[in-house]
Amino acid sequence: MSDISQLEDRLGYRFNDVSLIRKAITHSSYIKEHNRSGQSNERLEFLGDAFFDAIIGEELYRLFPDKEEGFLSRTRAALVCEKSLAEEALRLDLGSYILLGNGEEHNGGRKRESILADTLEAVIGAVYLDGGFEAVKELVLRLFAKTIEDARHGKFVIVDYKTALQEKLQNNGAARIRYVLLKESGPDHNKTFQVQLEVNGRPAARGTGKSKKQAEQNAAKAMLEREKL
């Protein structure tokens, strides 16, 4: 693993509490294989996901004063998706710093999109806890400046099946949409997730993927294609 100070250089942020960034790059497979008593980065990932979503949402609200809610939702979903996070993590070479178990290491975990995206979210959570909201907002807007600029100029196609499905169903009346995790299978380094999409409490479609987010997108895509919505 590379030196933490190198990662701080890449991020453009110095931690007051270095234990936070160390936790942010600690994958659950490392904790399990090394019988460590500490926590993996999963809680920080949860926190980072929430702040990342809010910061991007606020920025889009500011950049597009005349756009409707549907456009803002689709654009935000495209910017905060797993692929967007993973691409930025690759640019930062974040994979070189992640603490992984041997199984995940030998199966390409450092380049796995879901792990890279989750780790970057954990880093965002760590920066919030270390420096507060203004620090994490500055970090996010700086790291994703090009992506946001591309969105502002319409340079990429937004493919967000979950938002598209929600809009189409709600155009036909109120709809309660929920994604339920049915099962996860496989070893830690190569898990597969299966989710069930429920509409108004009834099963509507299923999707699988290498992350829960991907499985949810695939379930929404399956329903859109089946119902020709």
CB 38 within 8 A of CB 26: yes
Q: Could you confirm whether 66 is annotated as catalytic?
A: no
Number of C-beta neighbours around residue 10 at 10 A? 16
CA quadruple 116, 143, 19, 58: dihedral positive or negative? negative
Give the whole-angstrom CA distance, residue 101 versus residue 111: 14
Which candidate, 149, 146, 126, 127, places its Cα nearest to that of 136?
127
The angle, 0 to 180 degrees and rounded to 10, between the axes of the packed helices 113-131 and 42-63 is 80
Give the whole-angstrom CA distance, residue 2 versus residue 66: 45
Catalytic position from the list 104, 121, 160, 216: 121
Give the whole-angstrom CA distance, residue 177 versus residue 103: 36
Q: Could you confirm whether 87 is annotated as catalytic?
A: no
Phi-psi group of 26: left, alpha or beta (phi > 0 → left; psi -120 to 50 → alpha; rest → beta): beta
- The label of the residue with tokens 């007051």 reads 16
Catalytic position from the list 49, 88, 130, 216: 49
Which positions are annotated as active-site residues?
A: 49, 121
